[in-house]
Amino acid sequence: AYLGRRPAPPCTLERRSRRLRSADGAEKGRPGRDLCCRRRRRRLPETMPVPDPREDAGRFANAGGRMPMPSQPEQPPRRRKRNWFYRCCRCCSGQADDGDWGPAPGEVPGARRTEPVVREGMLVVSGIDLMSSRSGSNRRSHHTDEYEYEHLIVRRGQPFDLKMQFHQDYDPEEHRICLEFLIGPTPQVSKGTHILVPVGSRLSDRSWGAELLDWDGNVMVLRVTSSPNAVIGKYQFSVKTRSKAGEYQAPFDPRYEVYLLFNPWCSDDPVYMPQTSTLEEYVLNESGRIYYGTETQIGERTWSYGQFDMGVLDACLFMLDRRGMPHASRGDPIMVSRVVSAMVNSLDDNGVLVGNWTGDYSRGTNPSAWVGSRDILLQYHRTGYPVLYGQCWVFAGVVTTVLRCLGIATRTVTNYNSAHDTDVSLTMDIYFDENMKPLENLNADSVWNFHVWNDCWMKRPDLPSGFDGWQVVDATPQESSSGIFCCGPCSVEAIKNGLVYMKYDASFCFAEVNSDKVYWQRQSDGSFKIVYIEEKAIGHLISTKAVGSYKREDVTSLYKHPEGSEEERKAVETAAKHGTKAHIYKNREWGEDISMTVDTQEAYTGQDITLRVHVKNKNNMPRNVSLNLFVAVMYYTGVTASPFKKEQRQVQIPANGTQTVPMLISYAEYKPHLVDQGAMKLSISGKVAETNQVLAKEHTFRLRTPDLTLTLLSPAIVGQEAQVQIVFKNPLPVTLTDAIFHMEGSGLSTPQTMTVGNIGPHQTVKMRQSFTPLRPGRRQLVASLDSPQLSQVHGVLTVDVAPGPTWGHEGSPAPSRASAGLTRDSPGRQPTNRSSPANARASPNAHGSPAGGRRERTGRPV
């Protein structure tokens, strides 16, 4: 009854109707009556004290003539005998069902007049209080008090309270009440997008329900519980009441819209996380660390997720709408996460971000310059066009924001030496010619210095038992999945054990973390032969931010068994059986007397680099080795340019000894070739004279970049402007042109960009910038600097924000983001300079000269 009665199906009723029409029409010479309630309904006598609620003036204006006049004496109720047809269709049997609150024939749910027809005696709703205050019990108990929204935001499967007021006193004997929730353009009861909740009824613990907590005269307090499998999104809300005078339907008011989210605190929700203490990190934390660089030179940067900032929730729901995801499917976290992984990149569906790995970002923003997700999502929501540009850590940061905002526990994960398998071989194939020089035209597979994706927590009822928990979701557009550029969700447990046939995209995810490097050499007849398999080259130091601290947590053991263990080799060979080159592990014809390792001396951009190759002899006899060394700049995706430095070395290694081969790369040598991330790759190939053993090794390294120094200059109080100083020193002996600062922080109103122009060689720049705290508590202000000559420069400042004088009082709204020089444009706050970062300029310094002309300057962007 709580869902409302569905239209009578053309099944047994239709067959019975045909028989009755045939008998009735044949004998009396007139067409048979159609007993189906959707074709013709028997009217009740006008003297009935309770008219059919489907035919009263509250729904249809022309129904008033069928109602008794108020002056007529009320007739005593007359019991009607229930015929055998009553159990099949109550309206066809002439009996009105008081539990049927569904729409009348021809009524479109949600399309309701703003001024409903009211008759004397109706239970008319005069006021609704959803108790949506951010400091109220509803928002606090549902962990939604940080959302910068005044609407009610609750999580499914958990009760919330609301108040209603009527024009007359409520009488439980005479009055009936039903709450109505609608979502989507065509709400339907059968699809769970039109929810009817009669007060006092709940069929099961997994259904919607509403109970009366208290009432006093014409005011009542209700407790509503949503289904733990309900559709998530923004619902319209209304109330229906019934009395002897008929049915009253309150209009749908935008002020009473309700946001319903996933609930990882609810044990019946598929996204429930048993370790609820970790949800403070994986759902509620608004900032995090993203790791980059190489396995030997790990870098980290702070990312502002900002999932509670004004407008972000609407932007997340807009993504689902833009993809055309049916609302009925939005209760399934598996499908929601898969759609999010497709929509965060722009391929196929004009999603949020355009990927760009060319190094030319003149039409948009350098991916390294982004410091958070908020501005990206709000720009996409405002314009409807993909934002320029993103790379893997930007895609992953936005996915974390979206899924945390919707209520799914999510973390950002970095994998070092991450493989990109292009031919489903589940191996990284590297081809050489007869002289062991790389054949770049054949090397389609690549190994990324690092790759960033997401883990999200959910149950997997679509898989066998044992695959719940962390699931990989990857929004970076690398390979298509079922014709769409998305990846996941894929069970981490399936990846660990090489079960690459599990959905979704387990084979691709497995190759990223646990494939082998296979080196092929071209033979004289043109065929290729395996000369070496490097088993421990892929998937190192899989990292994420630790719970409750800013330390790095190594989660490699969740993704793979210990390197070289029997379980790990079994997983690799199990996966390879489902690849295109399953035969490679059958025969091995090479020995391993000689091994190589490489280390790099840490260097900053602008300094010389020293490499050392250590060649170790495991044999009791000395060995002579010829080595070819090639150095090339590379993008972090593994794509390399032509080598800019080549050397050949002859090395003699004593028995059971080690020989070190040094290599120096000067700044003048690599400066003309440097690209994003300052990464380079050393490729080594060689041969052992005595045994003909083929040697091959690839080593990536990067140059360090300086940090920004941020200092708070005044106390941070909600609603009051504060100042921060940014200090940066150019480490290069060249001028940085068109330098731009980006700044963002969750719960903080900040400008998007500040353009400061040129920064001279080794010049120090100081800037002061204002921001306005919007929410109290510990916040992080993140900044970055970008220029054509130098990128990947970041800084972070932790700010403890004190409550303002009116914070926490009922009726005192949070300060507007517009108070910090930003305009507000529905649905979220929009910076005035968002479309063109170059619109922000540094003001002249205190001496009146342009800021770019002095070594140290203090400027205020305008």
Active site residues: 392, 451, 474
By C-alpha distance, which of 242, 282, 778 is closest to 546? 282
Run of H or E including 405: helix 392-406
DSSP string, 579-627: SS-GGGGT------SEEEEEEE---BTTS-EEEEEEEEE-SSS-EEEEE
Spatial contact of 284 and 798, defined as CB atoms under 8 Å apart: no
CA distance 632 to 674: 9
CA distance 26 to 86: 26
CA distance 409 to 399: 11
Residue 826, token pair as written in the block: 């529905």
Per-position b or e across 779-798, b if 16+ CB within 10 A of its CB: bbbbbbbbbebbbbbbbbbe
Per-position b or e across 549-570, b if 16+ CB within 10 A of its CB: eeebeebbebbbbeeeeeebbe
CA distance 318 to 316: 5
CA distance 808 to 820: 21
3-state SS assignment for residue 737: strand
CA distance 443 to 422: 10
Run of H or E including 233: strand 233-243
How many C-beta neighbours within 10 Å does residue 133 have? Answer: 20
CA distance 834 to 504: 37
CA distance 327 to 854: 58
Residue 684, token pair as written in the block: 């080594």
Residue 554, token pair as written in the block: 């190594």
Per-position b or e across 461-496, b if 16+ CB within 10 A of its CB: eebeeebbbbbbbbbbbbbebeebbbbbbbbbbbbb
What residues does 768 pair with on adjacent strands? 725
By C-alpha distance, which of 503, 539, 320 is closest to 420? 539
Give alpha helix (H) positions in 92-237.
Answer: 137-141
Separation of first and last alpha carbons in the chain: 61
Q: Give the phi and the psi of residue 670 in degrees, each rounded to 5.
A: -95, -15
CA distance 145 to 135: 6
Run of H or E including 777: strand 777-787
CA distance 753 to 740: 7
Q: What type of residue sits at position 298? A: I
3-state SS assignment for residue 559: helix
CA distance 250 to 122: 12
